[in-house]
Amino acid sequence: MWHQKTLTELSEALSTGKVTSVELTDHFLNRILHFADLNAFLDVNNDFSRKQAQIADEKIKSGKAGPLTGIPLAHKDVFVTREWRSTAASNMLENYVSPFDASVVERLGPDGAGMVCLGKTNMDEFAMGSSNENSAFGYSFNPWDIDRVPGGSSGGSAVAVAAGLAPAATGTDTGGSIRQPASFCGLTGLKPTYGRVSRFGMIAYASSLDQAGPMAKNAKDCALLMNAMGGHDPRDSTSLDMPAENYSRHLGQNWAGVDGGSKEEKPLAGLRIGVPKEFFSEGLSAEVRVKVEAAIAEYEKLGATRVDVSLPKTELSIPVYYVLAPAEASSNLSRFDGVRYGYRCNNPTDLKDLYERTRGEGFGNEVKRRLLMGTYVLSAGSYDAYYAKAQKIRALLIQEFKEAFQQVDILLGPTTPTTAFKLGEKTNDPVSMYLSDIYTIAINLAGLPAVSIPVGFLDGLPLGMQLIGRPFTEAKLLNAAHRYQQATDWHQRRPGGIE
């Protein structure tokens, strides 16, 4: 069954003529229709997808295909596209169709890597949420248990890959929005170093935190996607001007060989894994702790050395995040005023009425909550007490990570404190919802790369752990994840009832 295959396997099947891109695309489009009740997609256009597949098949026949040419994928609806609506799951943009493609869409699409877009996936409105329950168009359902959330904000992308509706998907991570749904849905999700992937055409939430990344079945697939997605983009002022990277180059290498040492018998000999004690304190489910400790033991079998470290200021990451991110959102979302584009209220009496009713009717409750918080902390009477102080703590947090990486090569911890929680369980308790990102937010504040990988199951639900690296070490992180996945099979398991 094609939906069970990895990107590498699909690439080989396409190049050897076992299947065409049109056939693959039809296979996934049929699955999207069959499992429409999961509400993973907000917009699908079969004609557009098949047209892209036909172009890919012509490239394959001419011998001009790359490793991803002809493989379908899904895009989170935060990336603007020319052929599909780009709504950010908000009534504010319900009928918006962009005149241009986001860089991520462009680089992965027909004029780039040659992948075929299957459609746009559901998400929390303007990427604000941790459960996918904030979408204006209904929430997505976790295919492992439809009574539970898939995570957010990239929940629709996670559902699409986990349910076999797409072999891979794009996501964005502002405070854990790739890694947390990857953990809840049994996937591998990479949050790259800030600036590695262009933000051009990505509908902004918090500009100093937002980062695009891949979601797929395993680390090898994420590396292939990053090879196409990453790279400098002069249209994005936050894009890092660095040489092109091959994120697959270390896969399968021994860690000692990667760092120029002698070849060791065990693949990860020489790897120092830092385990922050704050990630294993009160608030972490005891069952999750057991699973993550077992994963650490597996790494030790592969030759890695455990080093206990402390990151005391990470406990401040949630209050810091919920000062800085809403402040940036307050600025970014000010453009949605009913004048330039997007939703406009009916029959406004004057300009003030236009602004107030347009934003009041167009935005959902969580977006309004964060805009209010952001506007407040930026106000003259609160700026120094909240925003300026949060920026100072952010600087201290970055320094704390730098000091930790003087002792270790990577950091390891749980991605989430629990497995996926039930739909509606936390909707009336925003603080409890925010705490579900307690282990992921600090990485965004520091701009570091991190990858979440599956490490087991609890009561039939998947859970993940994250590997965190120094800036620009995605290739090494993906190798460490790949080595673990070579030794285990958690990432190969799929939810029942979706075959």
Query: Does residue 301 carry a catalytic annotation?
Result: no
Catalytic residue among 103, 131, 140, 153: 153
Catalytic residue among 49, 130, 140, 177: 177
Catalytic residue among 5, 76, 120, 291: 76
Distance set, CA 116 to CA 70, 81, 247, 279 (Å): 6, 13, 21, 39
pLDDT of residue 432: 87
pLDDT of residue 259: 53
Per residue in 247-285, pLDDT (tens digit) is: 999 999 999 865 554 555 799 999 999 999 999 988 899
What is the secondary structure of 335-397 as a DSSP string?
G-SSSSSS---SS-SSHHHHHHHHHHHHS-HHHHHHHHHHHHHTSTTTIIIIIIHHHHHHHHH
Query: Does residue 76 carry a catalytic annotation?
Result: yes
What gap in Å lies between CA 454 and CA 101, rounded to an integer? 32
Percent share of the chain, pLDDT over 90: 93
- Average pLDDT of the chain to the nearest whole number: 95
Tokens of 137: 């168009």
Contacts (Cβ under 8 Å, ≥6 apart) of 491:
186, 187, 188, 217, 218, 453, 454, 485
Side chain identity at 244, as an amino acid letter? A
Question: What mean pLDDT do residues 40-55 have?
Answer: 97
Per residue in 78-103, pLDDT (tens digit) is: 999 998 999 999 999 999 999 999 99
Domains of the chain (ranges, CATH numbers):
2-256+451-492 (3.90.1300.10)
Phi, psi at 173, each rounded to 5°: -130, 110
Which of 8-14's residues contact partners 24+ apart within 8 Å by CB, and which partners? 8/220, 8/221, 8/224, 10/71, 10/167, 11/67, 11/68, 11/69, 11/71, 14/60, 14/65, 14/69, 14/70, 14/71
Question: What mean pLDDT do residues 98-120 have?
Answer: 97
Contacts (Cβ under 8 Å, ≥6 apart) of 101:
80, 81, 82, 109, 201
pLDDT of residue 281: 87
The closest of 76, 78, 70 to 54, measured between CA atoms, is 70
Given pLDDT bands bounded at 50, 70 and 90, which one contains residue 341?
A: confident
What is the secondary structure of 97-117 as a DSSP string?
B-SS--HHHHHHSTTTT--EE
266, 302 Cβ separation under 8 angstroms = yes
Query: Does residue 432 carry a catalytic annotation?
Result: no
More confident residue, 399 or 264: 399
Question: What mean pLDDT do residues 138-158 have?
Answer: 97
Per residue in 314-337, pLDDT (tens digit) is: 999 999 999 999 999 999 999 999
